[in-house]
């Protein structure tokens, strides 16, 4: 038997997703403000501050370059937070998952529902920042709308990876390691704040093995009036990370909760 058997996927994840949506609607305004307040602050502070020093990056004003990176990093942070802190709370503190398992659901449905919900939260957050960027005139044309399904897929990817961390965590403190060792390096090395070409070749090679850079490589052209290249490659990397994360997280949570 495989150490990580494939999860049994079904549409029974929808009630889990719907339950989380209904709870979130009660705190929708402060939640949205919290999710995109800090990224917008980064956009305005770095964009106007560094933008005056940096000037243009190629044909792009720095503010325009930064806006697309902030949209992608917001999706990563939101999905990661939801897949760790919020999911762990429902699993361990509130015992919400125990109640769900008393319904005609299995653990695979719950894990998939949580990951899809993390992807949805990422879409809400990044979509709000995309709207702000449009208001500020940082988007070239309607091609930017094509970034939304990419953001949703990215949310699935980062939510699934976060669920792996949740599966092995015994407290909230453990999540700090993941943010420090994985999320923050991806933020700094994936072309969010400056072009990858500015980094040493070895670091660039490492960055290309991470999912965020592939999200940026698709979303940035769409937001700046161009068409991305090597789209199948970028989408494949994002999807593989998500599917592997889903498989590993489901297997680890089975061992943890169904013993």
Q: Which two tokens stand for residue 111?
A: 């894990």
Report the alpha-carbon angle 225-226-228, nearest 5.
140
Judged by average pLDDT, the poorest of 3-12, 77-86, 124-133 is 3-12
32-74 pLDDT tens trace: 676 666 667 777 777 666 666 666 677 788 888 888 999 999 9
Distance CA 148, CA 237 (A): 17
pLDDT, tens digit, for every residue of 184-243? 999 999 988 888 888 889 989 999 999 999 999 999 999 998 999 999 999 999 999 999
Confidence of residue 27 (pLDDT cuts 50, 70, 90): confident
Comparing 30 with 171, which gets the higher pLDDT? 171
pLDDT of 1 over the 60 cut: no
pLDDT at 34: 67
The model's pTM = 0.91
Section 120-136 average pLDDT: 89
- State the pLDDT confidence band at 111, using cuts at 50, 70 and 90: very high
Question: Using 50, 70 and 90 to split pLDDT, how confident is the model at 15?
Answer: very high
- Which are the contacts of 186, defined by CB distance < 8 A and separation ≥ 6? 76, 210, 211, 212, 213
Nearest C-alpha neighbor of 67 from the set 114, 128, 20, 112: 128
* Average pLDDT score over residue span 126-140: 87
How high is the pLDDT of residue 259?
Answer: 65
The pLDDT score that the predictor gives to residue 36 is 62
Q: Is the pLDDT of residue 102 over 80?
A: yes
In three-state form (DSSP H/G/I as H, E/B as E, the rest C), the secondary structure along 151-184 is HHHHHHHHHHHHHHHHHHCCCHHHHHHHHHHHHH
pLDDT of 137-165, one tens digit each?
A: 888 889 999 999 999 999 999 999 999 99
Q: Which one is predicted more confidently, 28 or 8?
A: 8
Residues counted in the chain = 259
Q: What is the pLDDT of residue 8?
A: 86
Which stretches of the chain are assigned E, i.e. beta strand? Answer: 56-57, 60-61
Give the model's pLDDT for residue 186.
93
Return the C-alpha torsion angle 37, 24, 181, 92, nearest 10.
150
Contacts of 139-146 spanning 24+ positions with Cβ under 8 A:
139/67, 139/223, 139/224, 140/223, 140/224, 140/225, 141/225, 143/222, 143/223, 143/225, 143/227, 144/222, 144/223, 146/222
- Residue 236 or residue 2, greater confidence: 236
Q: What pLDDT sits at residue 118?
A: 97
Phi, psi of 207 (to 5 degrees): -65, -35
Q: Would you call 220 helix, strand, or coil by DSSP?
A: helix
Helix, strand, coil distribution of the chain in percent, nearest 5: 80, 0, 20
Higher pLDDT, 105 or 29: 105
């Amino acid at each position: 038997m495989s150490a990580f058997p494939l999860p049994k996927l079904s549409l029974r994840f929808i009630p889990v997703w719907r339950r989380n949506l209904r709870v979130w609607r009660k705190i929708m305004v402060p939640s949205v403000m919290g999710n995109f307040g800090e990224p917008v602050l980064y956009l305005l502070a770095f964009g106007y501050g560094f933008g005056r020093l940096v000037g243009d990056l190629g044909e792009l004003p720095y503010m325009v370059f930064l806006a697309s990176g902030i949209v992608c990093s917001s999706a990563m942070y939101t999905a990661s937070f939801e897949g760790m802190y919020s999911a762990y709370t429902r699993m361990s503190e509130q015992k919400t998952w125990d109640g769900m398992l008393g319904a005609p659901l299995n653990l695979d449905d719950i894990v998939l529902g949580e990951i899809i919900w993390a992807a949805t939260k990422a879409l809400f957050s990044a979509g709000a920042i995309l709207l702000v960027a449009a208001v500020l005139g940082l988007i070239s044309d309607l091609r930017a709308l094509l970034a939304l399904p990419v953001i949703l897929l990215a949310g699935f990817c980062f939510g699934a990876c976060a669920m792996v961390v949740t599966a092995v965590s015994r407290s909230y403190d453990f999540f700090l390691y993941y943010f420090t060792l994985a999320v923050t390096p991806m933020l700094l090395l994936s072309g969010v704040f400056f072009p990858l070409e500015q980094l040493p070749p070895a670091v660039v090679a490492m960055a290309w093995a991470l999912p965020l850079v592939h999200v940026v490589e698709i979303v940035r052209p769409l937001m700046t009036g161009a068409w991305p290249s090597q789209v199948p490659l970028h989408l494949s990397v994002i999807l593989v990370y998500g599917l592997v994360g889903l498989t590993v997280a489901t297997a680890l949570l089975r061992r943890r909760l169904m013993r």
